[in-house]
């Protein structure tokens, strides 16, 4: 009697009430991102194959909150049947080769053993979060409004009034070495390379003051205003028109006559 083949697993992924919270704005957690609207940890299934989806979802006792690709939902996902080849012809062929070509078979076995060695993977993974405080390198005080950019990406933020910053590293960038640029008015630019050796704890970024002056001339209603930026401070110099100088001279003469 032929054995009864096992039934194939079948699932259909449906999302009755989609969540409108953006994935990039969710807080990174172990195993996914935390959605404050749903109060759950959302797992990312977009890169999984059908077989991997079956393995993760078919035995789940309850509903799972996850992120899916549009091609993965509202369709039947069926387990692929594993093809089984008869073992007798293969065993007979291996016995024949061992008798006729013993050296060839031995060489093939050695090659197979070498190829079966574990491949070396790059296990370096940047932390899920990059946060800390930006301080003045001399006075050790927080620096607000420092522009922070991640080179090669569209990630960017600025330090708060207390000099603090917080970056959530998206999943697509977690296995890259990211370089962050720190720069503020009156301070020199500093680059920080974030990798596995940087650590996932809070960071203290020290910025050195720059003596570079940035001047800009602006036209205002009463004349001209020259704004000069030096060492993080703004100095305003206003040049009066001839009418204002005449009125000011008239007021001084009237004051001395008293």
Write the CATH number for 150: 2.60.40.1120
More confident residue, 111 or 258: 258
Q: 31: which DSSP letter?
A: T
- Is 181 part of a structural domain of the chain? yes
Amino acid 115: pLDDT: 37
Locate 136 and state its tokens: 């003045």
More confident residue, 145 or 116: 145
Beta strands 76-78 and 10-12: pairing type? antiparallel
- Is 194 part of a structural domain of the chain? yes
What is the extent of the structural domain holding 198?
Answer: 128-207
More confident residue, 34 or 29: 34
At residue 248, φ and ψ (nearest 5 deg) are: -65, -40
Nearby residues of 111 by Cβ (< 8 Å), 6 or more positions away: none
Reported as a pLDDT band with limits 50, 70 and 90, residue 175 is low
Q: Domain check: are 203 and 132 in the same one?
A: yes
Q: Taking 90 as the threshold, does the pLDDT of residue 84 lie above it? A: no
Give the whole-number percent of the chain exceeding pLDDT 70.
Answer: 55
More confident residue, 72 or 234: 72
- Is 101 part of a structural domain of the chain? no
More confident residue, 80 or 104: 80
Amino acid 224: pLDDT: 45
Q: Domain check: are 71 and 133 in the same one?
A: no
**Contact present, 169 and 130 (Cβ < 8 Å):** yes
Q: Which of 78, 110, 138 is the last residue of a domain?
A: 78
More confident residue, 188 or 220: 188
- Is 88 part of a structural domain of the chain? no
Q: Averaged over 188-197, what is the pLDDT?
A: 76
- Is 188 part of a structural domain of the chain? yes
Q: Taking 80 as the threshold, does the pLDDT of residue 189 lie above it? A: yes
More confident residue, 169 or 114: 169
- Is 110 part of a structural domain of the chain? no
Over residues 90-108, the pLDDT tens digits come to 556 656 555 555 554 444 4
Q: Domain check: are 72 and 133 in the same one?
A: no
Q: Averaged over 227-243, what is the pLDDT?
A: 45
- 112-116, 171-175, 208-212: the lowest-pLDDT one: 112-116
Nearest to 153 by CA among 214, 112, 194: 194
**Contact present, 92 and 85 (Cβ < 8 Å):** no
Separation of CA 245 from chain center: 58
Q: Which of 57, 78, 99 is the last residue of a domain?
A: 78
Q: Averaged over 26-31, what is the pLDDT?
A: 71
- Is 109 part of a structural domain of the chain? no
- Is 44 part of a structural domain of the chain? yes
Number of structural domains (the chain) is 2
Q: Domain check: are 200 and 135 in the same one?
A: yes
Q: Taking 90 as the threshold, does the pLDDT of residue 144 lie above it? A: yes
Reported as a pLDDT band with limits 50, 70 and 90, residue 53 is confident
More confident residue, 214 or 144: 144
Q: Averaged over 43-68, what is the pLDDT?
A: 76
**Contact present, 179 and 156 (Cβ < 8 Å):** no
């Amino acid at each position: 009697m032929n054995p009864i083949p096992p039934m194939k697993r079948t699932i259909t992924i449906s999302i009755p009430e989609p969540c409108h919270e953006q994935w990039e704005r969710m807080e990174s957690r172990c195993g996914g991102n935390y959605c404050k609207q749903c109060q759950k940890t959302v797992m990312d299934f977009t890169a999984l194959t059908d077989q991997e989806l079956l393995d993760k979802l078919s035995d789940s006792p309850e509903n799972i909150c996850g992120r899916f690709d549009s091609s993965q939902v509202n369709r039947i996902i069926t387990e692929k049947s594993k093809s089984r080849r008869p073992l007798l012809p293969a065993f007979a062929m291996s016995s024949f080769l061992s008798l006729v070509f013993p050296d060839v078979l031995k060489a093939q076995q050695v090659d197979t053993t070498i190829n079966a060695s574990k491949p070396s993977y790059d296990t370096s993974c940047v932390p899920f979060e990059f946060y800390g405080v930006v301080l003045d390198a001399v006075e050790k005080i927080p620096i607000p409004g420092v522009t922070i950019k991640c080179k090669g990406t569209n990630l960017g933020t600025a330090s708060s009034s207390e000099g603090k910053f917080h970056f959530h590293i998206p999943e697509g960038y977690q296995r890259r070495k990211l370089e962050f640029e720190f720069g503020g008015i009156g301070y020199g630019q500093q680059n920080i390379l974030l990798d596995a050796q940087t650590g996932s704890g809070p960071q203290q970024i020290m910025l050195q003051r720059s003596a570079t002056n940035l001047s800009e001339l602006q036209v205002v209603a009463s004349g001209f205003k020259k704004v000069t930026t030096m060492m993080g401070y703004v100095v305003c110099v206003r040049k009066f028109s001839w009418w204002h100088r005449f009125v000011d001279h008239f007021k001084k003469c009237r004051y001395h006559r008293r």
